[in-house]
Amino acid sequence: RKEVEQDPGPFNVPEGATVAFNCTYSNSASQSFFWYRQDCRKEPKLLMSVYSSGNEDGRFTAQLNRASQYISLLIRDSKLSDSATYLCVVEDTGRRALTFGSGTRLQVQP
């Protein structure tokens, strides 16, 4: 079983749409969760951390379900500039390392 699993997409949505991505992780002992954004051939950039109570940052909302071991990211009012690959990232328990999912590609269309 993959450690962090994501639907690769692509998700093609019109501007203004709401889109949601899910991610599942295999290690139930994981404590820290993140969403990163990666533009084509660029470095990953932290979008937001994911907290147990759920958290929101502007148009972005992240949720964590520990019982089902999944993480979600909701993007409201999609912009063209949101087009990117969204990486689900989980702390590698026991060491200072991050385990990345393969990413979900989002394409926002005019």
Partner 1 sequence: EPEVTQTPSHQVTQMGQEVILRCVPISNHLYFYWYRQILGQKVEFLVSFYNNEISEKSEIFDDQFSVERPDGSNFTLKIRSTKLEDSAMYFCASSDTGTVREKLFFGSGTQLSVL
| Shortest CB 79 distance to partner 1, Å | 21
Q: Which of 29, 40, 95, 110 binds partner 1 (CB under 8 A)?
A: 95
Name the one residue in this structure whose structure tokens are 């502007």.
58
Q: How far is CA 107 from the centre of its chain?
A: 15
99 binds partner 1 (CB under 8 A): yes
Q: Tell me whether residue 33 is exposed, middle or buried, using C-beta atoms within 10 angstroms of its C-beta: 0 to 12, 13 to 18, 19 or more.
A: buried
Q: From residue 18 to residue 57, what is the string marking binding to partner 1 with x (rule CB under 8 A)?
A: --------------x-----x--xxxxxx--x--------
Return the number of other C-beta atoms located less than 10 Å from residue 20's C-beta.
12
Extract the tokens encoding 71. 């993480």
Q: What does the binding site for partner 1 look like in residue numbers (CB under 8 A)?
A: 32, 38, 41-46, 49, 87, 91-92, 95-103
